[in-house]
Chains A and B, each alone.
Chain A
């Protein structure tokens, strides 16, 4: 399992040879600085929900096992998997994404949270950002609502996107084939300052 070895090396490098990784350690990666959603990515590493232990909340530092667990979300599916296994993998990956959006851990992505997501995405665009982001987020929300709930009475509410709805709207983009990183040829010397 050389992948684990490589990741371990990288972990050590990032954490400056300590056993635990902290948020600040991520700041040493220069390329990550230009990424518009870097905060959310970093948060995802410290989010307990991603550790497969049914925990909630966040931690301040993570060990190598947690690092691995988070990375395992990005494993590609094997060639001959049953439909069910694929479905499971898809759920897992989408769950990861969902957790990234749902920052207050209440199980739904509300309009505010979604807006935040879109704003972050567009945060590089400068002046056009805020209002357009809101508009886009609202339209997206509308769409989810329409698809998931169909017809709604005017006095009903749609509080937020639950995980099931999330699954439904994103099932077309075949997450299990796209959300993958190849770990094999990592050049661990790149990097940190």
Chain B
């Protein structure tokens, strides 16, 4: 025990690692003391007096905590390793993380063996399939980009199903043929075990693919192709595995069995998806009611998904597909229901778990390599490796040839190469091999050796070289560009356009069905599964909210007082975007550029949704609580000064006084009554404090209100820190009113006549005041 613990310490070459482990040993000691002390404090009421020994002040009780301790130790090792790799800059660029982790595993395994201990069967299949694999798959499924996935679903299915079948039979068959050749001492390997071996080894592994592809940032299409294939081929693998395993004993597979196998495949895959979808819908439905218990929201997502996996595994359906289906179904509905914080929690928990799992898997792979009984057979192993490569290439090329006939966007040779080269094998293959029964399969160790070699080959050789190859072949990389709102608008527009054209042609194509599904979704499903009024929100608006929210947060985080973050290169403010008939207004504005920036910044800090400023007018004008003194049309200078003072007062007031809920009833009412997208600028009249709350009125829970309150506070406080805050605010005040102020004198009458709220209208820099007039008339008291 102690030996085991200390043997870990020389593993890393890092000082802190050793220190870390030393610390652990010390901790262990301490833990060891607690328990005996505890035992002593709650004495057994026994009839006999036990012999009096010296009171154990310090004792060691490792057996008590052995299991959790070792698990924690492994997890800690994995995480520290991950940390360590990123501290060496050059290494992580050349060698993919998975390789390094396997090496670490090898070292650890080697050390354990040297120490004479028995290597724990860490890659025990049960542990692997029940604990290590689900987080990774759930992470993948939850964040699966649905759109490209669905667009390419045909291709992905072809690769997954037919490709895997082809690989399995090709490899298995040829291996058998090779085994029959004299001189290889392999003639006892029969056909069925070979086919079984073929099916195990031909499955592309999602873990390995994820690990490697994550680092090469390849374009979305290829990524989704390979990744989708690795996820969906699980069904095929499960069926083939069970089929061959069952009948290897019997020695014969009849046509009937093959037919049953096909049926089984359909059941396995569709059943898995159905199970996942059911649990997903349940999760979405549950999340509809969680508005009062926000804290456990993430738990629902995790537990339902895990149960989907377990249920599928219970029936020997495809657990991976169930998980993917559950995650993909849950996501759109749950995200609309849960609070922002829960969303972040889910995201980070999933990433954390999947990351740790992945690391552990690779380390264990290394350990198992050292530990496992090996039966090296040159012929078998080398033939396996070569055959896998060959069959993959042939499979991909052949399938692409067929697929390209049906695709609009054809797959080029480069794409095919990457798809073929990216077919990495991983730990799933090893675990499946490990599961094989020793009695039925005497050549199990040989299989395991071959599997491990194949895994090593693909991960090391292919994993390391794929990055330079991608660069060499100039394969299109992932575009890092943010989704701009224009793109979103036009994507939606295109969708509708194409659907319309299809309707005109009378062609019930792709878009037609997608549109139908969307409408069905909107009409029925969303009503059930999404709480409150959110379901009416079309995608564009939701996207828009998100974007603005993000921008506001980014802005605040960047300190507010500094120059605008690159995310919002808004050198142009709304004043610039005006129809031609407004020249007089702009001509009078001689404003330095940065004040406009400042104005923009501050505007964005305080609001969560970009909206026309008349929104704000409407919202706060409606409720009488904030009697707007400015409606009486004061002169601009009074306006300016007053606002400066008020603002400062209000903002500082606001900072010290937490968002007063007492103000809110009217505000809330107003919020619900008014358009949820309210927009504020800091040039708001003295009703700043309560109206800030109203502005944050988006159809989200009070949580988000508080959230953005914090941001406003942060924004406010960060502003406070700038030296010339007052001055800047004053200056900031200027543009809106100076815009007015500049021409204020001349236009005063005009404006007063025009509408009752000149100052605010002007400073809100709207294009086209004529529009505003029409809209604001009903709302101005």
Contacts and interface: CB of A to CB of B under 8 A. Distances in A.
B487 A182 contact: no
B551 to A, nearest CB: 9
Which 9 residue pairs of A and B lie closest in terms of their CB atoms, listed nearest first?
Answer: A135-B611, A41-B500, A151-B571, A31-B503, A145-B572, A125-B538, A152-B572, A186-B507, A155-B586
B559 interface: no
Nearest to B544: A136
A151 B507 CA distance: 46
Among B497, B574, B612, max chain A CB count under 10 A is at: B497
A173 B490 contact: yes
A29 interface: yes
A62 interface: no
Nearest to B588: A155
25 contacts: A10-B504, A10-B505, A29-B504, A97-B493, A111-B768, A124-B538, A126-B536, A128-B676, A131-B615, A132-B677, A134-B612, A140-B486, A152-B572, A153-B593, A154-B589, A155-B589, A157-B583, A157-B586, A158-B572, A170-B490, A180-B408, A181-B501, A181-B507, A182-B509, A187-B506
Contacts of B496: 35-37, 121
Interface in B550-595: 569-580, 582-583, 586-587, 589-591, 593
Given A36-B496, A131-B611, A188 B544 contact: no
Given A157-B578, A181-B502, A128 B572 contact: no
B609 to A, nearest CB: 7
B503 A29 contact: yes
A179 interface: yes
Contact of B579 (A29, A111, A188): A111
A36 B304 CA distance: 37
Given A41-B504, A135-B611, A183-B507, A142 B499 contact: no
A125 B506 contact: no
Contact of A140 (B485, B491, B571): B485
Contacts of B683: none
Interface residues of A, number: 77
B499 A35 contact: yes
Contacts of A76: 408
Contacts of A177: 408-409
Interface string A98-109: 001000000000
B652 interface: no
Contacts of B507: 181-183, 185-187
B586 A154 contact: yes
B489 interface: yes
Interface size class, chain B:
35 or more
A26 B508 contact: no
Contact of A32 (B409, B492, B500): B500
A158 B500 contact: no
A117 interface: yes
A165 to B, nearest CB: 10
Interface in A129-179: 131-132, 134-136, 138-147, 149-159, 169-170, 172-173, 175, 177-179
A122 B522 CA distance: 13
A15 B112 CA distance: 82
A58 B679 CA distance: 39
B504 A14 contact: yes
B54 interface: no
Interface in B497-525: 497-509, 512, 515, 519
A181 B503 CA distance: 11
B506 A142 contact: no
Given A125-B538, A172-B487, 14 more contacts: A37-B493, A37-B497, A121-B492, A121-B493, A125-B537, A127-B536, A128-B536, A131-B675, A132-B611, A136-B489, A140-B486, A146-B572, A172-B481, A186-B506
A128 B545 CA distance: 13
Contact of B572 (A34, A111, A149, A183): A149
B579 A159 contact: yes
B472 interface: no
B572 A155 contact: no
Nearest to B519: A34
B536 A122 contact: no
A59 interface: no
A29 B499 CA distance: 12
Given A76-B408, A135-B609, A121 B506 contact: no
Nearest to A145: B572
A74 interface: yes
B593 A139 contact: no
A110 interface: yes
B242 to A, nearest CB: 38
A154 B615 contact: no
